[in-house]
Amino acid sequence: METHSQKFKIRLGFFVAGGLAIFVLAIFIIGRQKNLFNPVFKLTTTFYNVSGLQVGNNIRFSGINVGTVDNIVIINDSTVRVDMLVRKEVHQFIKSDCQVAIGSEGIIGDRLLVITQGSTEAPLAKEGQKLISTEPVETDAIMASLEVTAANAEVISEQLADIMSYINTGQGTLGRLIQDTAIAENLNQTIENLKTSSKGLDENMKAVKHNIFLKGYFKKKARDAEKLKEKAEEKKK
């Protein structure tokens, strides 16, 4: 009986020790994530709409988690103040003209704050300084815009389908041009006639140039063109 009681006490002791170890480890991990054990400095900003941001969400700078959201307070019907705790070691990179935007951990992840990089000539942000914010784009607004775009694309697709249907059935000028072989042949004949007329015009121009009465005129035009060419070459030199 005594042996059984001792075994029970040993098991109970291991269970309690294991529970305490897990509790301490959890406190350490949570405290590290929430910067409870790191020296921090405080910044603040305001938004019209925090878009689901919560206390404890991460703060990123240059793609690295550097702090957490400490507090969110509604100031009035158009202003929400967000207090930030940022690790002290990052203070040397946070400039007074840095801006704060609301982002997300992936497509459907938690919200977070993103601090953009400031200019090199700007002074460092002071303790408790208010940084300029950039309002987030609401998901509902994006979805509404996509719905309008999809509706417009559907209308355009229907119109294109109607046009192709008219063309395939030979309706309209373009449809008759494609479907009616007689029109196509007439068009080819017209092009051939234009080529023949152009060839005849070239021959007539050559005959005119050799005409004794107009030969002097064309020679003068050739000399003028040669002079202009010479002047252009002299300017290039």
pLDDT at position 71 is: 92
- Alpha carbons within 13 A on the beta-carbon side of 159: 6
Taking only the tens place, the pLDDT of each residue in 153-196 is 877 887 777 777 766 666 666 656 665 566 667 667 777 777 77
Helices vs strands, H then E, count in the chain:
5, 7
Q: Which residue has the higher pLDDT, 223 or 63?
A: 63
Q: How far apart are CA 198 and CA 192, in angstroms?
A: 10
Q: What is the DSSP letter of 66?
A: E
pLDDT over 70 at 42, yes or no: yes
Q: How many CB atoms lie within 10 A of CB 225?
A: 10
Output the average pLDDT for the chain.
75
Taking only the tens place, the pLDDT of each residue in 162-174 is 777 766 666 666 6
For the chain, helix, strand, coil in percent to 5 are 55, 20, 25
